[in-house]
Structure formats: structure tokens, C-alpha cells
Amino acid sequence: MNWQHTGTMNNATGVKTKESAASGLVATERRRARRRRVLYRARLAFNNTTLNCTVKDISEYGCKLKLAVPPVLPETFELIMNKTGERRKCQLVWLSDCEVGVCFTDVGE
């Protein structure tokens, strides 16, 4: 989901936040691949820190994550799937309360 702003954006981090159309943001679907709904346990790893999360949907290019509390995240981090140990390099795309949208930066590696 790519959020396009119809007014002035004041997010200093450059990360788009999900808000309603009434607030000036309108959702536009721009994914390259359809995401499938899943419930995978995972962890986010960055700066010698790990956070537990749940992968709610996933595609070859990115996923949506759910965390227990609103996170403070760096722009890039690693996603580690608990069951398989698979690791994916991620870039933060959007953040809304306890949900996070990421794109995988290691596609094709």
C-alpha cells in the first residue's frame, strides 16, 4: 500500500503513516505482487535489539507486521522467521500504531 498525501506532509522521518482520507492521505495500491494472509511468529533485529512480532501478510517483495506495542524502528532492519530461521533484510515503508509495512531489500540476492 502506498500512501499518497493530498496536503502537506510533516513527517520528518520520511516514513509514511497510515491515516484516513479525511486527514489528507489517500491509499493507492502499488504492490508488485499479491500478498497472502499468514500468521507467522518472527523477530525484528537491529542495533543489538530484537522485537517479537507477527507477520500478517507476505509476498515476494514485502510484508505487514504486527507488534505488541507501537514500535520505534530504524529505517532498515532484519526480519527473522522463528519457525525456519529465514532472515530478510527490510526497509520500513509505513507505520501505523502497532502495524508496520516493509519491503524486502534482499530480493534477488
Output the tens digit of pLDDT for each of the chain's 109 residues. 333 333 333 344 445 544 444 445 444 455 566 778 999 999 999 999 999 999 999 999 999 999 999 999 999 999 999 999 999 999 999 999 999 999 999 988 7
The domain spans of the chain are 2-104
Q: What does DSSP assign to residue 83?
A: T
Arch. (CATH architecture) of 2-104: Beta Barrel (2.40)
Position 52 scores a pLDDT of 98
Position 107 scores a pLDDT of 85
**Beta-strand relationship, 49-58 and 76-81:** unpaired
Position 35 scores a pLDDT of 75
94: Cβ–Cβ under 8 A, 6 or more apart, which residues?
A: 1, 3, 15, 16, 17, 18, 100, 101
AA identity, residue 102: V
The DSSP element (H or E) to which 58 belongs, if any, is: strand 49-58
Position 30 scores a pLDDT of 57
Position 1 scores a pLDDT of 38
Position 92 scores a pLDDT of 97
Cα(67)–Cα(53) distance, rounded to whole angstroms? Answer: 5
